[in-house]
Amino acid sequence: MMESVQRIFALARITLLEAMRQKVLNILILFAVIAVGTSLYFSTLKSDEQIKFLLDFCFGAMTVFGLFIALISTAYMIPNELENRTIYTILAKPVRRSEFIVGKYLGVVALLGVVTLLMSIVFLIVLNVQAQINIASYTQLVEQEGVPELDKRQLITTNTNTVLAQAQDPMILQGILLVYARLCIVAAMAMVISTITTSAIFTVCTTFMFYVIGHMQGYARDVVMDPTEQYGPIQKALLSCIAALIPNMRSFSAIDEMVLGTKVTWDMTFGLLGYSAFYITCAIALASLLFSEREL
């Protein structure tokens, strides 16, 4: 058992190192520049709008860049191993195919963890810089307006508290965790598809399509679970497949609600993280089964 774990971690470590040698860091720098530029881009907007837009943009950029990295790194992994023939060297050793899949997936998960962490650091720095700019400009505005002293104090304190509450909201951490969970699900989907296909481009396109369909999976599930819905057998079978196999990506829109200030409890977040862990476990088990059947 311990040897199996060691083999998995060795594979995960190698996968992470290989990925880090690629141009992922360049993308991160690009992200950082875009994120910093955002505050300037929205500088004409109202103070509370700026924070909302910054949160939206940063979570959006984390999702897009993360999605891109998750898709590319996972989809090209097995085809690259096959092309370079390194897979034969690995599987010639006492490494099970399931260990190979789990190790490779954990490598991608670690890579996504590093990427998300770096993006989050830049994101939080930008957010706090913007918050300080907003507080300073509002204070200056109130000072110039000639508001009575008591109201002035209340206005400045309330504004400072509101801006800081937005910029240092613990829910941002929940949002980052959910973005990470979403990316891990995408990587798991890509892993399943890459075990049955030979083309990385096909894997990228199909996974992205499934990701998009995942945002409408709830409708398919409603149809499947509601016996009163009037659909033909073919439509119902198709919708059943979608509901059964594709994850519900729409539930991750909780991130948007956080940005709008809606209270998203930790129970909800843990529920989503638990769901993600369950889906990933099943997807990787499926990928292992499919890969064990594959002719190399």
Partner 1 sequence: MRPAHDIDVENELPEDIAAAADESRWISRWDGPWHTRPSLRILLLLIVFCVPKLLMETAIDASQRAAGFHSITHISSDLRSRLTQDTLISILAGLRGVVADYYWRDVTESFMREDWSRMRSSIQLTTMLQPNSPIFWGMGGWHMAYNVAIAKRNDKREPSLARRIAIERYWVEEGEKLMRNGLEINPESVDLHIQLAQLHLQRLKDPVTAAKLYEQASLLPGAQPFNSRLPGFILRRAGREQEALDYWRRLWARHRTHTDKDMDWPRILREIRALESKLNVPIAERIRE
Under the criterion CB under 8 A, does residue 35 sit at the interface with partner 1?
no
Span of 18-26, 75-83, 127-135, 148-156 interacting with partner 1 by CB under 8 A: 148-156
Under the criterion CB under 8 A, does residue 145 sit at the interface with partner 1?
no
Nearer to partner 1, 79 or 247 (CB): 247
Span of 49-57, 79-87, 102-110, 125-133 interacting with partner 1 by CB under 8 A: 49-57
Nearer to partner 1, 57 or 105 (CB): 57
Please give the torsion angle defined by the CA atoms of residues 47, 50, 55 and 60, in that order, rounded to the nearest 10 degrees.
170
Under the criterion CB under 8 A, does residue 293 sit at the interface with partner 1?
yes
Under the criterion CB under 8 A, does residue 229 sit at the interface with partner 1?
no
Over the window 8 to 27, marking each residue x when it contacts partner 1 by CB under 8 A and - when it does not, the resulting string is --------------------
Under the criterion CB under 8 A, does residue 290 sit at the interface with partner 1?
yes
Could you give the CA distance from residue 243 to residue 20 in angstroms, rounded to a whole number? 35
Q: Nearest approach, Cβ of 45 to partner 1 (angstroms)?
A: 7
At CB < 8 A and 24+ separation, what contacts does 157-160 make?
159/47, 159/135, 160/135
Site for partner 1 in 99-128 (CB under 8 A): none
Nearer to partner 1, 143 or 222 (CB): 222
Beta carbons of 104 and 77 less than 8 angstroms apart: yes
Residues that bind partner 1 (CB under 8 A): 44-46, 48-49, 52-53, 55-57, 59-60, 63-64, 67, 93-94, 96, 150-151, 154-155, 158, 182, 211-212, 215-218, 221, 224-225, 243-245, 247-257, 259-260, 262-264, 268, 271-272, 274-275, 278-279, 282, 285-286, 289-290, 292-293
